[in-house]
Structure 1
Amino acid sequence: MSLVANFFAIALGAQDTGGIRGWVEDTQGKPLQFATAKLNLDGVEIASKTTDASGMFEFSTDFLRLDSVTLEVSYVNKATQTIVLKKANYASVIKMTLPNLSLTLNDVVVTGTVKNQNSASSIVFDEEAIRQLQAFSLMDVLNTLPGKKTEAPNLQSPQTINLRTSASDADAINNSFGIAVFIDGVRVSNETNMQSRGLSSRGLGGSLLNAQGETAMDVTYNGFDLRDIPMSNIASIEVIQGIGSARYGDFTNGAILITTKAGKAPYSFTTNINGGSSSFSLTKGLSLGEKAGAVNFSIGYLNSNDDPRDKLKSYDNFNASLKWTKNFSKVVTNSLTINGESNLDDIKADPDDDDRVMSYSKRRNLRISNNTTFNFNKRFFNTASVLLNYSQGKQYTYSQMLFNQPPKGIGYKDTTGIYEGVFIPGNYLAVEEIDGKPIAYSANIDMQTNLLPTAGLQHQLSFGFAFNTSGNTGLGYIVDPNRPRWVNLSNQNERSFSYEDSVRFENNVALYLQDNVRGKMFSRRFNLGLGFRLNFQNGRNNPQPRVSFNYYVHKNWSLSTSYGISFKSPSLAHLYPAPTYFDIPLLNLYTGQVNKSLYLVYTQKVLAKNERLRNAVTYQFEQGVTFNSARIGNGSLFGYYKKNKNGFNTFSEFIPAEIPLYDYTLNEDGTIAYFPTGEQGKVWELKRSRMNNGLSSVDYGLQLSFQTKFVPVIATSFGLRAGYTVSKYTGGNLTTTELASDVAQQNGVVYVQYINKQRTSRESIVSFTTSTHIPKVGFIVNTVIDYQPLLKQRWEAQNIYPVAYTLYTGEVIVPSPEAARNDALAYLRKGFGEADQEQLVIPSKGFWNFNMRVAKEIKKSIRLSVSAFNVLNMKPKAYKISNNNGSDSVGIYNYRPLSITIGASLQL
C-alpha cells in the first residue's frame, strides 16, 4: 500500500501547505481520528478529508480564494457540527468539538433533510434521524419520504421500494428494479438473483415462489430486498429521486447511498419489538492506536412471526460486519470491509396438515470491499479513490406438497422428438427446488480536482472508470421427473436447468466525466453541473448526458433545473430464462398397469434466451425551488416528469405445431403397439410467456417538504411533506394475442389480437409533523399525521374489439375499425357472451392516519422509545360501483390496525 502511495506522491509532487486547516476533538479534548470534514459551497460538497491520528485535517490552498465556505464535520455517534468560514478565518487553525449524540442537545434533527448533494433534490438522513425512527429495516426510513405513507414495520414479506410513481404490477416491479443501492460506494444489486419458476409457463408475476398465504419469498426481477441491509452500522443515508451525478449509473428511478460507521465509538446495544417482530444489534468502534487505525464491528439479528400464536412461518436474519480503517500516511487512507448475512424465511410443516405443505427460502451472502483514498491536496488533483469489491451468495428455495390424484402421463426428455413418456403415481410428495450461487466483482476508480478558475468561473472536475461482472453458478432449477411439483401446466413441464452451464457472466464498463461550474450571473450565484456517462452494457453503448442548474435568486431562495438520461441493464433472470418444453400427448392410454399402459408424447423444445434484450431507459426532467431561512425554517418544492421506455415485461407467444397422428392395437399379452397413421394434425393452443422490452410509461408529479425552526415558547417545530403522482402506462406491447373462443374457432378463427388496456393511476399523500423537544430532561415527542385523499380511479373495460385475427389457413385479417365493431364480427369481441366487466370507482373522500413517537433519555446512556402507528385505529372505507346495475358496495380500504414498537438502547 505504501508503494502505491509513494508512486502517486512522486508523480504529482509534494503536498501544498497552508490551506484551510483544523482539528477535531470530543468534549474531553481527545482527538478524533477518521472524522469527516467537508467543505460545502452553496450547499454542494466541494471537498472532503479524513482526520489523522491527531485529529487534524487540511484542505488545499486552492480553496483560500473563496470568499466564504461552509465547514461540516461529522463522526460516528457524535453530533455533526457546521460553521460558516469567512476569508478572514482561513489563516486560523479551526477547532471543532463534537459532543455525543443525545436528546439533551438543543438541535436534534429527526427527519430527512433536502440537500443539493448528488442530486438537486437529495434527501439525507443522518445518524440521529435514523435512530429516532426505530427502524427494523431500510424501508422504515424510506417511508418518511415525501409522498410515502407512515406504516408499521412488516418483515414477513420482501421489502422493495418505489420512487416517484403510483405504478402497480409490472410497472411497479420495473420501477423498483431501476433503483440502485450503494453501500460505501459499492453497488449491491438484485441482478444475479434467479430464484424463480419457469418464466415460460407463468409469466413475470406468476414465476415467483410463494409461501403460505401467497407471500412472495424472493424478489427476482424486482428491486433489492431492503430487509437484507443491516441498520445497526449505518451512519447516513442519501436518497436520490431525481437526476443523479454522472458518477452513479445503472439506475433509472433513483439511488440510495448508504455510508457506514468508521472510527472509535462506545459499545451500543439496541433492541426494538413490534408485535411478533424483534430486532437486536450490538456495535462498537475500537481504536487500535495511531499506527493500526480503528475497527468497527456490528452484529444484528431480526426475527419476525406474522402471528405469534402460529409458529409455522418465521423470518430470521443474521448479519455481521467488520470495517478496518487506517491512515497509511498523510496521503493514503484505506478501509477494508467484510459483511456477511444469512436469511432464513422458514415455514415449518404443520403436523395436522394432510397435504404436508412446506416452503422456505434461505440466503447467505458475503461481501468484501476495499476502498483506498488518496488525498493529494495538489494544485490540480484533490482526491482519488480505488474501490474493489467481491460478493458471493448462496440461495436455496424449496417447496413441497403431497399429491393424491389419478396417475398422469408426463414427458421428461430435454430434446425435440417423439418418445414413450412415463406415468407418475397419483400419490407422492411433490418437490420444487431452486439453487442459486450469485457472484459479482467490481472495480471503481474515481478522481476529483480542486477548483480550477477559468474566465471568472470555477470548475471542479470529477471523472472515473467503473467495471463490474456478475454471474450465477448454482445448480439452478432442480426437477425430479418422478415427483414434479407441476404437471402439464399449459402443455408444459419443467426440466432441470443448470445456471452454471447455461448462464454466462455479464460485463458492464462505464466511463464518466462531471464538471461542476460555479460563478455569478446578474450578481447572483449559480451552480451548473455538466455530466456525461458512457456505459457499455450487453454489447451496447449507452450515452447518458446529465445537466443541472441551480440559481440563487435571493439569499434565502434558489431555483434548480435538471435533466438527465439513464439506463438500467436487465438481470440474469431476464436474460437467461429456462427453455420452453411443450409436451403434446399423441396417445394417452392408462390401463391400471404401468407395464401395459402407453403415454406417447411429442416434445417440442424452444430456446428462450434473451441476450438481445435492450437496456431500460428513463428520460427525466426536474424543476425545483428551495427556501432556507435561519429564522423561519427550510423547505422545497420539486416537480418532475419521467418518461420510461424499454421496460421489462412478458407477452404471450403462440407457437403452432404440426404433429403426426398415431393409432394403436392391443397385443395378446395386453401390451400396446402403436404406429403412425400418415396423417398430420396441428396444435394451436401452445402458448408461452416471453420476456421483451414491452413496457412504456410516464410519471409526473410534485413533492413538497417544509420544516420550521424550533419555537422556544412551545418547544416545538412543525413540518409538512407531501407528494402527488400521476402515472400513465402506455405499454410497448400495443396488442395482445389470445386464443379464439369456441364460437370463433367454429368460424375458422384461431387467434385474435386486441389493443392492450391503457391505464392511468394517481396517488397523493400529505403528512403533517410536529416535534416537541425538551433538552433539559432528554425528552422528545414526534407526531406524524397522514392524510390520503382517495383520488378517483377508473379501471376502464379493456378494448373488446379485434384489431386482427388469424385463420386456420394462417392468413391474418386486419379489419377496419368500422368492420371490427360490426355485429358480423361480434363473435370475436373479447368476453363474447359474458357480462360487461365491472368498473371500479373510488370516491375522493380521503382518510387520516395518526402516528406518534416518544423517546426519553436517561443519563445520556439509556434511551427508551415507543412508536405507535394508527393510534386511533381508523378504518377507512371505499365504494365499489358496478356498471351493470349501478349498485354499490362498501369495503374497508387499506386498513392497518394499531401497532406499537417498543425500543431501548444502551451505550457503554
Structure 2
Amino acid sequence: MQLQILAQTTIRGKVVDEKNNPLEFATIVLNNGTQDILTRKSNAMGVFSFNINNHSFDSVKLIISYINKSTQSFWVNKKEFSLPLQIKLLDQSLTLHDIVVSGVVKNKNSASSIVFDEEAIRQLQAFSLADVLNTLPGRKTEAPNLQSPQTLQLRTSSTGADAMNNSFGIAVFIDGVRISNETNMQSRALSSRGLSGSLLAGSGQSSADVAFNGFDLRDIPMSNIASIEVIQGVGSARYGDFTNGAILITTKAGRTPYSFNTNINGGSSSFSLSKGFELNKKAGAINLSLGFLNSNNDPRDKVKTYNNLNASLKWTKGFSKNIINSFSFNAETNLDDTKTDPDDDAQKMNYSKRYNYRFSNNTNIDIDKNWLDELSILANFSIGKQNSYTQWLLNGMPKGIASKDTTGVYEGYFIPGNYLAVEHIDGKPISYSVNIDAQTKLLKWGSLQNQMAFGLSFNASGNKGLGNIVDPERPRWTNQGMQNERDFNYRDSVDFENNFAAYVQNNLRGKILDKRFNLGVGLRLNAQEGRVNPQPRISFNFYIHKNWSLSSSYGISFKSPSLAHIYTAPTFFDVPLLNLYTGYAKNSLFLVYTHKTSSVSRNLKNAVTYQFEQGVNFQSQKIGSGNLFAYYKKNKNGFVTYTEYLPIDVPVYDYKMNADSTISYFPTGATSKSWDLKRSRMSNGLQSKDYGLQFSFQTKMIQPIATILGMRAGYSISKYIGKMEYSTELASMMAQQKGIVYVDYVNAQTHSKQAMISFNTNTHIPQIGFIVSLIADYEPLLKQKWEANNIYPIAYSTSLGERKELSVEESMSNDWAYLRKNATEEKLVIPSTGFWNLNMRVAKEIKKKIRLSVSAFNVFNLKPKAFQTSEDKVSFYSYKPISLTIGASIQL
C-alpha cells in the first residue's frame, strides 16, 4: 500500500461578530464527523483557511468557537470547498436556542472524554473546579465546601491511601501545561508520623496541605476558563505522567466584553472581573482576569477562613499568517487560616499560606505540509512559596531534649513543660518544562486515511525551601516512639527530578464491511532518573449504524513519585540512657543515645495502571444522545508506607551522685538490644483494582414542554489488595520471654462499592431568557467493608535473627495461641435504604447583559441514615443541610 500525495484544495472563510466586525483568534476545527482533524486560528481580519487533499473528503464539518460567543457547526460539501464562507457568531445568551448547560461526551483525547464549554461552566455557578466536576457520572451534586482541600478521585470508590494514590494519579493541564503537585513537600517527617499523620492540621480539623495527594482544586481560578475536558479512560499518547485521568483546561483568548461575576453561599463568596482587549492590528489581544474567593466557616467569629486571590494575563499575537504566539502570566495567593480563639487558653492557631507565579509561552506554527502540518512549542516556568504553621500552648512536666543530628552518646538538656509549641514547614516549589508537539495532515494510504502526531517533552521539579524548621526548645511532639524531628532543609537535601518523554500517535480511518472505523495506536516513552517506562495506548471505534457505535480502548500509564515520596527526612532514634531530673536543670542529667539513619527512597518505582474500557454510544438527531462505558483498572506499585523495625545495640551507662549534687556517669561496657524501635518507610506496596460502569443520556428538546430530560449514573467496585501480604508487629512480652521478638500477620483487605444515579431536567424558555434545572440524586448503594484482621500468625522471628514460617495448622493450634492478636470484628457500613437528594438551579437573563442565578442544594433538607454493623447503630450519613448559592453576572 503506497502513500498517495494528492492535489489539494483550500477551504477559506471569515469569522465575524453580530456587528460584522472580524474576530481574531477564533478557533476553527475541521472534523470528519467522528474526530477532529485540523485546527486553525483566524487572523486579524477574521480569515482562516485549510489546505486539504481533494480525494480525502466528500464533505467536512467545521466547528467555530470564540469566547463569549455561541459555537457554530455545519457541514461543507465537496463542491462547496472553493466557495468563501462567512460565519457570524452570536453572543452567548439564554435567549438563544440549543444552549448546552452540562458536560457532553465527545471522542477527543479519549473515547469517553466529557467536555464542558463556557456556557455550561457559567450555568453551574462554580466556586471552584470541584463544583464542575461534581456533575460527572457517578458523582454527587453538593453545595460548595471551601473549608478543606478539594481533591478529585475518578472511577474509584476507595478510601485511605488507595484514594490518595488515585487522586495523585490525576493530572491537570492548563493550556497544555501540566500543573504539578510533585513539588509539594508540606509534611512532617514521614518516618515518625506515617502517611496519615504527616500533614499539619489544627485540633479537630483536616489539614490544609495536600502532600502525597492530588492537586487542590481550590487553587485553580475559574474566572478565565473557556472549556474543560475530563479524561477518565485511556488517553492519547500525547499526555503522560498520570494513571487515573486528566483535566484539560483551556483559558480565554481574544476580544471580550467586561465581565463581572459574583456568587454567595452562606459564609462563602466569590468575585471575578475579566476583560479581553483587542490591541491594534499588529499587537494582538490581551486578556486580563482578577478573582477573589473568601470563605468563613462561621461568619459570627471568622476564626476559620479561606482566602484566594488570583490574577492572570494572556497576550496572544499573530506574527504572520502562519505563526501565533501566546504568552501567559498567572499569580495566585492562598491563605487557609485558623486564628487564635480569644477564649482558648491553649492559644491554638494554624495556617497554610501559598504563593505561586507561573510563566508560559506557546508558539503555534502552521507549516501546512503533508508530513508536518502543525508545530507547537510550549515552555513553562513556575515558582512558589508555601508556609505551613501550627502552634499550641503546652503545660506539662519538664521534658528531656535530644537535638544532635549525628549518631552517638551525648548529654541532652531539659526544658520547662510550659511553652508555646510550634511546627513550621517552609517550601519553595520550582518546576519548568518544554513541550514540542507536531502533527501531519490527513493522508491517503490506499483505502485508509492516516494522520500522525508526535512530540518530545522535558520537565523538571524541585523544592528549595527551608523545609521542616524545628526549634528544639519548642517541640510540639517529643519522644514519639523514641523519635524526635530535626531540621530538614530542602534546599540542601532535595535534588531536581528530571523527566524526559517522547510519543507518537497514529490514527487510521477507513471502512470495514462498509462501516466506518477509527483506529488509534500510540506509544509514549518516559525516562526519569534511570526509570524507563513504555506506555502503549490503543483505541478502536466502529460505527455499526448511523446512530450507534462501539469503542474499545486499552492503555498502560505511569505516574512518577513526588519529591515528598522520595526525599523523606532522616530517622532519628533518641534512646534515653539516663533520665535523671532533680528539679534543677543544672543538677539533672539527660543522657541519650541517638541513632541516625537515612530515609530517602531513591529506589521507588513509578506507579502503573493497566486500563481497559468498552463503550457503546448512541446519537440521534430526533431522540438525543447517550453512552455506556464499562471499565477495568489494575493499579500496581502505588505509594504507601509500611512499618520497619530496626533493632539496634544500645550501650548501657551507670551513674553516681557527687558531693556537689552533680551527677557523674560512665559506661558499663555492656549493651542491650532495643527491639521496639520502628519507623514508617515509603514503598511501592499498594495494589488495587477498580471496575465499574458509567452511563449518561440526554434527550433532544421536547418542544411542547421546552424541556430536555437527562440521566447520568455510575457504579464502581474497588478492592484494595496490597502488594505486601503481611505486616510485622512486635511480639508480646510472653513471646519475648520465649525468644520471639517479631510476629507476621496477613494484612487485611478492603472492599468498597458505590453507586449514584442522577436524574435531571433542563427547561429553557429562550423568549424570556429563562432556564430552570432540577437534579435528583439517588444513592442506592454505598458500601464499605474492611475484612477483619487475621489474628493468627503466619511467621515469627527470633532474637537470633531466624525467621520461621508457620503452617495453617500450626498457626491455629493452641501451642501458638500466645502469638495471636486480639480479635477484631469485620466492619461494614451500608445505608439502611437508598436515599435521595434534590437540587435546583434557576437563571434569568435581563437584556443579554445581566444574569441572575440561584442554586439550591438538598432542597427538602433530607437526612440520610446509615446502619453501621461494627457499632450496631443507625446514624446520619454524610448529612448536609439545605444550602443556597445566589449569583449575578454583568457583561458590558
Q: TM over 0.5, yes or no?
A: yes
User: What is residue 353 of structure 2 aligned with on the other side?
Assistant: 362
User: What is residue 884 of structure 2 aligned with on the other side?
Assistant: 900
- 1:336-351 mapped onto 2 (5 Å cutoff): 336-351=327-342
Residues 734-784 of structure 1 show CA distances to partners (whole Å, capped at 9, x for unaligned) of: 111111223333333221111111121111000001000000000000011
Residues 279-299 of structure 1 show CA distances to partners (whole Å, capped at 9, x for unaligned) of: 000000000021000000100
Separation of aligned partners in 1, 2:765 and 2:732: 71
| Alignment check: 8 A CA contact 2:17 2:90 kept | yes
SS of equivalent residue, structure 1 residue 65: coil
SS of equivalent residue, structure 1 residue 789: strand
Q: Give 1:154 deviation, angstroms.
A: 0.3
Q: Which amino acid aligns with 2:570?
A: P
Correspondence 1:570 to 2:561? yes
Which segment is superposed worse, 802-811 or 244-253?
802-811
Correspondence 1:821 to 2:812? yes
Q: Which amino acid aligns with 2:43?
A: D
Correspondence 1:766 to 2:780? no
SS of equivalent residue, structure 2 residue 96: coil
User: What is residue 662 of structure 1 aligned with on the other side?
Assistant: 653
User: What is residue 240 of structure 1 aligned with on the other side?
Assistant: 231
User: What is residue 703 of structure 2 aligned with on the other side?
Assistant: 712
Q: Give 1:838 deviation, angstroms.
A: 5.3
User: What is residue 854 of structure 2 aligned with on the other side?
Assistant: 866
Q: Which amino acid aligns with 2:875?
A: G
SS of equivalent residue, structure 2 residue 257: strand
Separation of aligned partners in 1, 2:695 and 2:80: 37
User: What is residue 460 of structure 1 aligned with on the other side?
Assistant: 451
Separation of aligned partners in 2, 1:352 and 1:417: 45
Residues 873-901 of structure 1 show CA distances to partners (whole Å, capped at 9, x for unaligned) of: 0001111225xxxx831111111110100
Residues 548-568 of structure 1 show CA distances to partners (whole Å, capped at 9, x for unaligned) of: 000100011110000000000
| Alignment check: 8 A CA contact 1:694 1:731 kept | yes
Separation of aligned partners in 1, 2:597 and 2:371: 58
Correspondence 1:435 to 2:426? yes
| Alignment check: 8 A CA contact 1:41 1:70 kept | yes
Which one of 760, 766, 785 corresponds to residue 794 of structure 1? Answer: 785
Change (3 A) 1:489 1:63: farther
Q: Which amino acid aligns with 1:870?
A: N
| Alignment check: 8 A CA contact 1:317 1:343 kept | yes
Which segment is superposed worse, 352-361 or 211-220?
211-220
| Alignment check: 8 A CA contact 2:56 2:444 kept | no
User: What is residue 448 of structure 1 aligned with on the other side?
Assistant: 439
| Alignment check: 8 A CA contact 2:381 2:432 kept | yes
Q: Give 1:108 deviation, angstroms.
A: 1.1
| Alignment check: 8 A CA contact 1:410 1:424 kept | yes
User: What is residue 118 of structure 2 aligned with on the other side?
Assistant: 127
Q: Give 1:836 deviation, angstroms.
A: 4.0
Q: Give 1:18 deviation, angstroms.
A: 4.5
Gaps of 5+ in 2: 1-6
User: What is residue 828 of structure 2 aligned with on the other side?
Assistant: 840
SS of equivalent residue, structure 2 residue 767: helix
Q: Give 1:586 deviation, angstroms.
A: 0.3
Q: Which amino acid aligns with 2:860?
A: L
> What root-mean-square deviation, in Å, do the aligned CA atoms of Structure 1 and Structure 2 show?
1.3
Residues 413-432 of structure 1 show CA distances to partners (whole Å, capped at 9, x for unaligned) of: 00000000111111111111
Separation of aligned partners in 2, 1:648 and 1:341: 29
Correspondence 1:199 to 2:183? no
Separation of aligned partners in 2, 1:538 and 1:176: 23
User: What is residue 849 of structure 1 aligned with on the other side?
Assistant: 837
Residues 815-854 of structure 1 show CA distances to partners (whole Å, capped at 9, x for unaligned) of: 11110011121111111xxx64353352562100000000
- 1:358-507 mapped onto 2 (5 Å cutoff): 358-507=349-498
Q: Which amino acid aligns with 1:420?
A: E
User: What is residue 890 of structure 1 aligned with on the other side?
Assistant: 874
Separation of aligned partners in 2, 1:485 and 1:714: 64
Residues 675-699 of structure 1 show CA distances to partners (whole Å, capped at 9, x for unaligned) of: 1111111111101000000000010
Q: Give 1:374 deviation, angstroms.
A: 0.2
SS of equivalent residue, structure 2 residue 785: coil
Q: Give 1:64 deviation, angstroms.
A: 6.2
SS of equivalent residue, structure 1 residue 599: strand
Q: Give 1:19 deviation, angstroms.
A: 1.0
Change (3 A) 1:212 1:281: farther
Q: Which amino acid aligns with 1:111?
A: S
Which one of 26, 48, 52 corresponds to residue 57 of structure 1? Answer: 48
Change (3 A) 1:82 1:212: farther
Correspondence 1:530 to 2:521? yes
| Alignment check: 8 A CA contact 2:551 2:616 kept | yes
Separation of aligned partners in 2, 1:889 and 1:481: 46
Change (3 A) 1:748 1:63: farther
| Alignment check: 8 A CA contact 1:563 1:620 kept | yes
SS of equivalent residue, structure 1 residue 794: strand
Separation of aligned partners in 2, 1:836 and 1:485: 32
Residues 529-583 of structure 1 show CA distances to partners (whole Å, capped at 9, x for unaligned) of: 0100000023111000000000100011110000000000000000100000000
SS of equivalent residue, structure 1 residue 227: helix
SS of equivalent residue, structure 1 residue 153: coil
User: What is residue 551 of structure 2 aligned with on the other side?
Assistant: 560
SS of equivalent residue, structure 2 residue 130: helix
Separation of aligned partners in 2, 1:58 and 1:89: 14
TM-score, normalised to structure 2, is: 0.98
Separation of aligned partners in 2, 1:69 and 1:743: 80
User: What is residue 748 of structure 1 aligned with on the other side?
Assistant: 739
Separation of aligned partners in 2, 1:262 and 1:745: 70
| Alignment check: 8 A CA contact 1:369 1:387 kept | yes
Change (3 A) 1:843 1:128: closer
Separation of aligned partners in 2, 1:845 and 1:809: 56
Gaps of 5+ in 1: 1-15
| Alignment check: 8 A CA contact 2:157 2:716 kept | yes
- 1:535-554 mapped onto 2 (5 Å cutoff): 535-554=526-545
Q: Give 1:806 deviation, angstroms.
A: 1.6
Q: Which amino acid aligns with 1:315?
A: Y
| Alignment check: 8 A CA contact 1:211 1:217 kept | no
- 1:562-711 mapped onto 2 (5 Å cutoff): 562-711=553-702
- 1:133-144 mapped onto 2 (5 Å cutoff): 133-144=124-135
| Alignment check: 8 A CA contact 2:69 2:89 kept | yes
Which one of 67, 80, 101 corresponds to residue 92 of structure 2? Answer: 101
User: What is residue 292 of structure 1 aligned with on the other side?
Assistant: 283
Correspondence 1:214 to 2:205? yes
| Alignment check: 8 A CA contact 2:832 2:865 kept | no
User: What is residue 865 of structure 2 aligned with on the other side?
Assistant: 877
Change (3 A) 1:28 1:147: same
Once the two structures are aligned, what percentage of the paired residues are identical? 65
Residues 472-517 of structure 1 show CA distances to partners (whole Å, capped at 9, x for unaligned) of: 0000000011111111111100000000000000000000000011
Which segment is superposed worse, 96-105 or 347-356?
347-356
Residues 28-86 of structure 1 show CA distances to partners (whole Å, capped at 9, x for unaligned) of: 11110000000112331111000001101101132763112211000010011111222
| Alignment check: 8 A CA contact 1:63 1:451 kept | no
Q: Give 1:807 deviation, angstroms.
A: 2.1
SS of equivalent residue, structure 2 residue 666: strand
Separation of aligned partners in 2, 1:791 and 1:613: 34
Separation of aligned partners in 2, 1:838 and 1:255: 36
User: What is residue 330 of structure 1 aligned with on the other side?
Assistant: 321
Residues 260-308 of structure 1 show CA distances to partners (whole Å, capped at 9, x for unaligned) of: 0000000000000000100000000000021000000100000001111
